[in-house]
Amino acid sequence: MREKILHKATDLFLNLGFKSVTMDDLAHELGISKKTIYAHFPNKTKLVEECTLALFCTISNEIDNVCSLQMNPIEELYEIKKIVLLHLKDEKTSPQYQLQKYYPKIFENLKNKQFEVMQGCFVSNIEKGIQMGIYRKNLNMDFISRIYFSGITSLKNHVLFPVTMFTMSSLMDEYLEYHIRGIATPKGQQLLNTIINSNQE
């Protein structure tokens, strides 16, 4: 039952927002009593924490699997983007904003965990790209990986990028192309163009 509650709560939080969903809503959706939920999670804050951690672990594991496939670094970034979009439901209700506003400690802890995982992933991606000749040799890898993480997290800021103007999918596509064109060699640019053209077909 605990896993069932976690799964349904995560789905509701991502679709409706962390603040918007009440324990009553969750109990109603599951067809159980609130008492049953509280038997597994003492309060809503703990439930939010467990949901975000579980989602983070799922995404991290899938990203690790992609990185282990040894595909070329540009394709790797596009595969990672697909994983993130698949799990974050396009974020129409800005759950990230609600998490930051109403559960700041959970938000900061999650962001730190994301940075630890993604920093290693991005540095490895850049190293591979340089070795293959598709990224420029003179890159400051630590700077590039940090600025990329900073940019990716900023896309979720609905003040900067209102949902009425942008979808998360289009934002990530634009930002990924922007990032790769900034670090790619002519060989890398050709590969990027091929990937973009194949994605549009």
Does residue 44 form part of some domain?
no
Q: What is the mean pLDDT of residues 104-115?
A: 93
Does residue 42 form part of some domain?
no
> How many separate domains does the chain show?
1
What per-residue confidence (pLDDT) applies to 93? 52
- Is-contact 48 99, C-beta < 8 A? yes
Does residue 41 form part of some domain?
no
Average pLDDT, the chain: 91
Closest CA to 153 of 108, 106, 184: 108
β-partners of residue 184 are 135
Question: Tens of pLDDT along 75-97?
Answer: 999 999 999 888 776 555 567 78
Does residue 3 form part of some domain?
no
Q: What is the model's pTM?
A: 0.87
Does residue 91 form part of some domain?
yes
Q: SS3 for 94?
A: coil
Euclidean distance between CA atoms 53 and 33, whole angstroms: 24
**Packing angle between helix 44-68 and helix 104-132, nearest 10 degrees?**
10
Q: What is the mean pLDDT of residues 139-162?
A: 90
DSSP for 73-93? HHHHHHHHHHHHHHHHGGGTT
- CA distances from residue 134 to 65, 73, 160 in whole angstroms, order as listed: 22, 8, 31
Does residue 108 form part of some domain?
yes
Does residue 178 form part of some domain?
yes
- Is-contact 80 171, C-beta < 8 A? no
- Is-contact 100 48, C-beta < 8 A? no
What per-residue confidence (pLDDT) applies to 90? 54
* Range from 40-44, 87-91, 164-168 that averages highest in pLDDT: 40-44
Here the CATH number for the domain that contains residue 143 is: 1.10.357.10
Residue span of the structural domain in which 110 resides: 52-200
- Is-contact 73 129, C-beta < 8 A? yes
- Is-contact 115 60, C-beta < 8 A? no
Does residue 17 form part of some domain?
no
